[in-house]
Amino acid sequence: MALSEELCAHCLVPAGASAYHGTVAGCDHVFCCFGCFLAFRVHGEAGEEADATLFFLRLGVGAFLGMNVMILSLLLYSHDFSRDQDHIRRGIEILVGVLATPVMLVLGAPLIRDAWRAGRRGQITAETMIAVSSVAAYGYSVAALFGLLDHIYFDTATMLLLLFTVGRYLDATARARAARNLAPLLEAEIASVRTLTSDGEVTKRARDVAVGELVRVLAGERIPVDGEIVVGNSTVDQSLVTGEPEPIPKGPGDVVFAGTANGDGILLARTSASGAATHWAAIGRAVREALERRSRLQTLHDRIATYFLPLVVLVAAGAAVYWGRHGSVWTATSAALATLVVACPCALGPAAYLASFLGIGIAARRGIVIRSTRALQDLATSRWMVFDKTGCLTRGTPTLVAVAAEQAPEAAILGHAAGLALASDHPFSRALVEAARERGAVAVPATEVRTVRGQGLLGQRDGMAVALGSARFFSELGWRPPSQLGARAGVLESSANSLVFYGQEGRIEGLFAFADTLKPEAAEVLQSLRSRGLRTMVLSGDRTAAVRLAAESLAFERWRAEISPEEKLAVVRQLSASEGEVAMVGDGLNDAPVLAGAGVGIALGSGTELARTSADIVTADTSLLVLPWLVDLGRSVRRKTAISLLWAFGYNIGGVALAASGYLTPVLAAALMAASSILVIGNALGLEGHKEFGALPSGSGAKPGVAQTGLSMPTDGTAWQLGSASAATSPKSATVRSRLRDARPPEFRAR
Amino acid sequence: MTNPLWIAAAGAAGSFHCLGMCSAFALALAPSRGARWKTVGRHLAYNSGRVTSYCFLGLAAGTIGQAAAAGGPIGLLQRALAIVSGILMTVMALQFFGYRVPLSLSSAPGLGSLLRGVRGLLRAPGIPPPLAFGVFNGFLPCPLVYAFVAQALATGSAARGLLTMIAFGLGTFPAMLLVGLVGWGVTPGWRVWGLRLAGTVILIFGLITIARGAIAISSADGHAGHLMAMP
């Protein structure tokens, strides 16, 4: 599907090929359906209350007339008028006709126009069904008034229009409510910004704000640009960007991000990025694309709907012919109309969309970007959850615990290695740079640095070839360690430290040992996933000793160590071919190929690198606690979608059968249609009311405290620890924050 | 079914409740700047819209009752229906004495926009806006209306359900019209007594309805027929 497709102005669902173009308050908008057009006019923006009033005026007057038509029609049906009362009967019939006519104009005209437009494109829509049915019932009744036919059925015509209009309005309102969660994500580029210039305050769109401009943010407003606070103190809710639920105090000099919510202070910030350049806009684009991708269930729905409606028209025609021969003209018309009305796929739309839509919104509110509705549903059917180790199961902020050098002094080797590591975002690289800075080693940046994915780095320094990476990387390069260094490596490795080697000019010159700790929540989360029937596996490029220790302490069913990203991908492909859908959890950048290749790729804590990861689901912080919650969300969405679709299709098919066999009157069919829509909408909206999805994820079964203490909890019994204990004091989410604050040297970002 | 005159009287007694809840709407219907008769027209339109909605509800409830009673053995389902309706009425009556059923529709989709849109109708000039407003007003959750809709359900007939609500609606007509036209109000103290009156009336109706179903069921079949024709 083309990504350029427009979203409905009201409910943000892709408008699709049968988009409804409408003008509201002088502006052209695109809507996915007639209901959204109505609802948009009712909800409107400020100053459009007159439009809303007009809608309810039409609906109210239409309902008044329609209800009176219904009541008077009942009188006609139930009362046996004697021959000398015929003029009374005639009078009532004319009165009913007079009351029904304005209803046709007020409520029928927009529908007929819409059906006409669709018809010219060769499409049959829900509006077509209702417009044809009500016009037919009205036309039949007018003919009856002139004595050409038997009975009048104005009540059918008006009730159809009333119930359909109300149903459509409710549906559109429900979808808009689902979209409310997403709205803050989608307005990044069009948000209005108060900029301070020499002429005073000027309001403009976020995309028009230049770098360096001063922006004023009032209390409670969403911060519209990335920037640095110049004046003011406040707390900022960054959950949309970092997933942190707690507001963070900020003052002059602190960095603020577009899309985060300002607390109760007034801030003046200097813009560093605006419009499409912000992370906020990146999230918005990802969500927009997610809404445009259709899940399998939706595709199924589209496919069936394409064939269903023409088929229904045939069935209705068949019923008309059959009843025309075996009954009255009205029996034939009634059966055909009831068939058309009951087949109206009003409930199918919300059934296919609404739950996924809500799911994406519920996740987005927590800073989790779900890139497609398909991902959410595939997560629900996953049999395996495969984890990367470093940065995913472990805190991913390894600390340098030992340095060994062959010839040069250790500090010099550290400096050389850090000069190469500057070009990489890998946790080991970051730890090296950090250690070099702490120890005062001078890092001379290397040039022409190439990353060999999952293995190491190659570059040039002073005309020499330099390399940094795993033992395997060097053995592939054919560079060998001197014997002394090799022995030292053996000792360090046997205590499950991770080793990184540095070499130049074909010789390994030094080695670095790193220690990493498991995330405190890992054991609990894995247990919780297993209790949901998921099987678990670790795939890591790390050494066997370290991976085995992690896998065994967390009771993983399977594990593989020392494998390249390509091999990881092969393992995942094989697993999904033989044992069903696989969800892969990784850190987004280093695991990009396998995350893209798995059924569902979940990138933990890559929210800020959204544009660079291809994962289907991207979380804002690195906590694992979100995984069971995501699985539950996916399963709920899938269950709700399946139930809704089953119900909607079942209702449609059952209804068509009943109607064609003459058991349904058109009015009853319309009432069923409205009830079906309400049922489907209620089912989906139940997702939002669900206690688990209404609150922030605290890990199912996990004590609330665990979620919070992920930051400060010392390594407990379930976590294992290697080498130095210092890793326990450098929590990953703090790292995310510091990365957000641009704490890293510019070389890091210039890659 | 119960005599429509009784229902109308009950509606009139119940309008003390209306005075509390809906008189604000009637008062808010801005009087027309023009002729006095135009203001009268606006209030007649508002009340017609309201009563039409009641009638429709009665028709719908009666139809459902008719459909529900049609299936089973003659009389049995109708009596069960009477018991269910009577219980519903009793529950509604208890609301007037302060025993509230926790019922929240505040999260129903569309409610917020409905209220916003409908508010505009109160201020709009002319006859049609109050008419439309009355229609929506008629569907507002109201224990008094629900109680009589339950009564309409118990009739087990579309026509009798309709008649029940016509009678009820007309019963509420005078008080509401008076409020709108002359600003006739009742002090809160009186209103409390009014509410108790409304509650008592509904309670009596509810108990009669239950009794009608229960006595008929407990007594031997066939013989109970005449009980159905009670007031």
User: Which chain A positions have a beta carbon within 8 Å of B59's beta carbon?
Assistant: 70-71, 74
* pLDDT for residue B52: 93
- Residue B194 contacts residue B19 (beta carbons within 8 Å): yes
Give ∠ CA A88-A139-A665 in degrees, rounded to 5: 80
Give me the pLDDT at residue B216, please. 62
Distance from CA of B223 to the nearest CA of A (A): 29
The Cα A56–Cα A44 span in angstroms is 13
- CA dist A446 → A125, A441, A467, B59 (Å): 63, 15, 10, 85
Residue burial A100-139, b: 16+ Cβ < 10 Å; e: rest: bbbbbebbbebbbebbebbeeeeebbbbbbbbbbbbbbbe
Q: Which residue has the higher pLDDT, B217 or A106?
A: A106
Phi, psi (rounded to 5 degrees) for B125: -80, 165
Q: Tell me the C-alpha distance between A508 and A474, whole Å.
A: 8
Residues 6+ apart with CB under 8 A from B168: B7, B8, B10, B11, B14, B54, B58, B145, B148
Cα angle A541, A542, A545 (rounded to 5 degrees) comes to 135
Q: In the structure, what pLDDT confidence band is assigned to residue B143 with cuts at 50, 70 and 90?
A: confident
Sign of CA dihedral A433, A439, A440, A443: negative
Looking at residue B85, its pLDDT comes to 85
Q: Which helix (H) or strand (E) holds A536?
A: strand A535-539
More confident residue, A588 or B225: A588
> Residue A538: its pLDDT value, please?
92
CA atoms within 13 A on the CB side of A466: 26
Residues B47, B33: Cα–Cα separation, whole Å: 20
Name the token pair of A665: 């009157």
Do the Cβ atoms of B49 and A64 come within 8 Å?
yes
Report residue B225 CA to chain centroid gap.
Answer: 28
Buried b / exposed e along A612-625 (16+ C-beta atoms within 10 A):
ebebbbbbbbbbbb
Euclidean distance between the first and the last CA atom of chain A, given in angstroms as a whole number: 32
Choose among A601, A606, A600, A632: nearest CA to A621: A606
Query: What pLDDT, on the 0 to 100 scale, is given for residue A101?
Result: 93
pTM: 0.67
**Residues B135/B48, Cβ–Cβ less than 8 Å:** no
Least CB–CB distance from B110: residue in A49, A170, A689? A170
Ranges of chain A whose pLDDT falls below 70 = 1-6, 10-19, 24-26, 32-36, 38-39, 41-52, 79-80, 178-181, 184-185, 188-190, 242-245, 291-305, 396, 495-496, 588-590, 606-613, 689-751
pLDDT at A491: 80
Q: Are strands A535-539 and A248-250 parallel, antiparallel or unpaired?
A: unpaired
Q: Based on the residue annotation, tell me whether A388 is a catalytic residue of this protein.
A: yes
Q: Is B106 exposed, middle or buried (0-12, 13-18, 19+ CB in 10 A)?
A: exposed
The Cα B231–Cα B228 span in angstroms is 9
Tell me the pLDDT tens digit for each residue of A645-690: 888 888 888 888 888 888 888 888 888 888 888 888 888 877 776 6
CA-based R_g, chain B, Å: 19
Query: What is the per-residue pLDDT for A530?
Result: 93
In the block, tokens 């509230």 appear at B100
pLDDT for res A34:
66
Q: How many residues does chain A have?
A: 751
CA B227 to chain centroid = 25
Chain B: closest CA distance from residue A66 (Å): 10
* A45 touches B at CB < 8 Å: no
Catalytic residue among A155, A388, A516, A542: A388
**ipTM of model:** 0.81
The residue of chain B with its CA nearest to that of A58 is B132
Give the span between the Cα atoms of A244 and A249, in whole angstroms: 13
Model pLDDT, residue A647:
87
Chain A residues whose beta carbon lies within 8 Å of the beta carbon of residue B136: 56, 60
Question: Going by C-beta distance under 8 Å and a sequence separation of 6 or more, which residues neighbour residue A746?
Answer: none
How many angstroms separate the CA atoms of B214 and B80, rounded? Answer: 8
- Does B122 touch chain A if contact means CB atoms closer than 8 Å? no
